[in-house]
Amino acid sequence: MDWLTFLKDVIATQQFLQIFVGGCTMMLIGWMVTRARGDRDHLPPPAPVGIADVPPPFLQGPREAVDLMRELRDLARR
Amino acid sequence: MPGSNGGPRRPLLPMHSAGPYSTYRLFEWCMATMMVLIAFTLAMPGDTMERNALKPIAHMGFSEPNMALIFGCVGSVRVMALFLNGYINNVRIGPKGAYARAAGAAVGCAIMGQFATALVYDAFTVAHAPSFVIPVFGTLAGFEAISVYIAVLDGVSRKSRIGKALAALEEVRG
């Protein structure tokens, strides 16, 4: 049972815990990166909802430009 | 009519010209700004990193000047990447801004996780009471991981038609 107390003493040090949590964080980051790369390659791109995907209050200023671009888009579609 | 639907009411945030790329990155803007400001405050003299719980971290090498250096570098790189990513978006320049954002978010996630771990350890051993900063740092770490995902997902070289046409023109012209 001596090695168990030794193991407990090793695990309960703050250095070990910090490094352990750092490793878990790195694994989480790596999972996020790989998941994002896979999603980027295999999932379809998001649907084109509009000219610019901003909430409507932000579109109050360049309204004319947006409408002009919508008309151009419709013309190009025909 | 297009121009007559506004009225006197203005939006709270005027849309920057990098706006469509930045409105949904408010958390990354927040974290980048926070990193720069943390760097400034840590660079000031005195016990700016409140060392009761974070003293072991400071002894492990992340002292105040080192933390100020890391936070300053990473935060300014993130601000630059977030600002420029709306502009540099053609065929010639790849998605380096998104990768810089992802790296900065990864660094932020690691550091916030370390701080949260140190505070949890302090709560169990020294203080015998949890600090309210534990959920703050923990939540920041978690959402930084999510912004790593978003940044890598943004790292597509979006080849617009104008960018493709410019590249083709340059190829023809030689």
Q: Specify the pLDDT at position A74.
A: 80
Kindly report the pTM of this predicted structure: 0.71
Cβ pair B20:A54 closer than 8 A: yes
Are A37 and A31 contacting, i.e. CB atoms less than 8 angstroms apart?
A: no
Show residues of chain A in contact with B98, CB under 8 Å.
none
Name the range with the highest mean pLDDT among A36-45, B43-52, B141-150: B141-150
Distance (Å, whole) CA B100 – CA B155: 10
Residue B57 lies in a domain: yes
Which residue range is the domain that position A63 belongs to?
A: 49-78
Residue B108 lies in a domain: yes
Q: What is the ipTM of this complex?
A: 0.70
Residue B111 lies in a domain: yes
Residue B79 lies in a domain: yes
- Stated length of chain B: 174
Show residues of chain A in contact with B56, CB under 8 Å.
14, 18
B46 backbone φψ class: left, alpha, beta (φ>0; ψ -120 to 50): left
Are B57 and B111 contacting, i.e. CB atoms less than 8 angstroms apart?
A: no
| Residue B18 clears pLDDT 50, i.e. is over it | no
Same domain? A54 vs A38? no
Same domain? A66 vs A37? no
Higher-confidence residue: B72 or A65? B72
**Phi (first) and psi of residue B27, to 5 degrees:** -65, -35
* Counted domains in chain B: 1
Residue B166 lies in a domain: no
Are B14 and A57 contacting, i.e. CB atoms less than 8 angstroms apart?
A: no
The b-or-e profile of B7-42 (16+ CB within 10 A means b, else e) is eeeeeeeebeeeebbbbebeebeebbeebbebbeeb
| Residue B5 clears pLDDT 90, i.e. is over it | no
Identify the contact set of chain A against chain B, taking CB-CB distances under 8 A. Answer: 14-15, 17-18, 21-22, 24-26, 28-29, 32-33, 35-37, 39-40, 52-55, 57-58, 60-64, 67
Same domain? A30 vs A1? yes
Residue B63 lies in a domain: yes
Same domain? A61 vs A77? yes
Q: Which residues contact B73 (CB under 8 A, 6 or more apart)?
A: none
Q: What percent of chain B has pLDDT over 90?
A: 30
Mean predicted confidence (pLDDT) in B136-163: 80
* Counted domains in chain A: 2
Same domain? A39 vs A1? yes
Which residue range is the domain that position B43 belongs to?
A: 19-155
CA distance B84 to chain A (A): 17
B129 backbone φψ class: left, alpha, beta (φ>0; ψ -120 to 50): beta
